[in-house]
Structure 1
Amino acid sequence: MREGPRGRIHKDAPDAQVKNYITPGGLDRLKDERHFLLTKDRPAVVEVVAWAAGNGDRSENADYQYGKRRLRQIDGRIRFLTKRIECAEVVDPAAPRTGQRATRAFFGATIRYANESGTERVVRIVGTDEVDLERDHISWVSPLGRALLKASAGDEVVLRAPRGSETLCVLQVWYEPIAVEPFHEPTASHVGP
């Protein structure tokens, strides 16, 4: 991948790594999930696979087959999390800002806006690994996130979404800590096969 005009990433340059903008809480959540997979979930599945392998014919051994499939899923998730952590670019929304960086919407901003019908909404711009629509955490690469980036109070922006275009009025932009839902270990019934 390579960076082209206007900072867009092109897939024809294989060595470039896309930055994973993320809040400190989001990075902690990724690390916690990877730690859980490496220290608890994977060892539990390995133990079951080893036990099932000792039971004879593996081709018709459901515990063995399921365990191996689950192990591949866990390993794939660990690889994914490791890559996301390695390319993480941590941006703290609570860090002091001056000038336009304090009044314009960038990564980590909290924005209050109104749509064409006057309905107000507050959203927070976060990384792709932190999206939580129930908490109004939107990705900086989502259509709404892109529309709001670099806007300040009083600006009108156009949201281009699959359902059509809509003009939004930015009412307020500010920065504060963004609480990201922490990683929760699954209940015992969901660990391992």
Structure 2
Amino acid sequence: MSRAFVKEMDGLEEALPERPQSSHINYVTPRGLAQLQERVRELSASRSALELRDDLDSRQQLKRVERDWHYYTERVARAVLVRPTAQPGDKVHFGAAVEVEDEDGHGQRFVIVGEDEADAARGRISWVSPLAQALLNARPGDTVTWRRPAGDKTLEILAIGEDPP
């Protein structure tokens, strides 16, 4: 029988594929950079603890932790810190909190952040998202078109502010 059809136990020892890095510049807010650095510290601690154990489960966990550690270490190394307070306050910029209103009068607040810091449920949107791209450089009183698969939506910029810590 060909070796190609034999399941081998040593396949468990193979390295996991690397997590792909984004092709975009890794802009980060000070908060986003701190979160990435904290994640690297957590993974380093997990790695140290798992290296002390010598069982199959620990070795498998260690591979996942090392893969994630490598990913986040690279994200920190590629980080470009942008201080929102150093940006012009009269137009939407990276790190800004933006209040908008749609054509139905529904208001929302978004903060434009780095890819790793994005959390749509909390209104924190990645700077590369279609919504952020529609908002960037707009001024209060401007209307922008958010191009969405569900249909375009017109938003009016009501206010631009800082994201509180």
Alignment check: 8 A CA contact 1:158 1:167 kept? yes
Instruction: Provide the residue aligned with 1:72 in structure 2.
Output: 63
State the one-letter code of the partner of 2:130. P
Q: 1:109, 1:68 → 2: CA distance?
A: 43
Deviation at 1:76, TM superposition (A): 0.8
**Structure 1 unaligned regions, length at least 5:** 1-16, 53-63, 180-193
Which 4+ residue blocks in structure 1 deviate beyond 3 angstroms? Answer: none
Name the SS of the counterpart of 2:108 in structure 1: strand
Alignment check: 8 A CA contact 2:96 2:163 kept? no
Alignment RMSD, CA only?
1.5
Instruction: Provide the residue aligned with 1:85 in structure 2.
Output: 76
Q: 2:63, 2:164 → 1: CA distance?
A: 34
State the one-letter code of the partner of 2:49. A
**Structure 2 unaligned regions, length at least 5:** 1-22
Q: Indicate which of 31, 37, 62 corresponds to 1:31.
A: 37
Q: 1:94, 1:169 → 2: CA distance?
A: 23
Higher relative contact order (CA 8 A, sep 6+): 1
Structure 1 pair 130–42 and aligned structure 2 pair: CA distance change class (3 A):
same
Deviation at 1:18, TM superposition (A): 4.1
Between the two proteins, what is the percent identity of the paired residues? 35
Aligned pair count reads 143
Instruction: Provide the residue aligned with 1:107 in structure 2.
Output: 94
Instruction: Provide the residue aligned with 2:103 in structure 1.
Output: 116
TM-score (norm 1): 0.69
State the one-letter code of the partner of 2:30. P
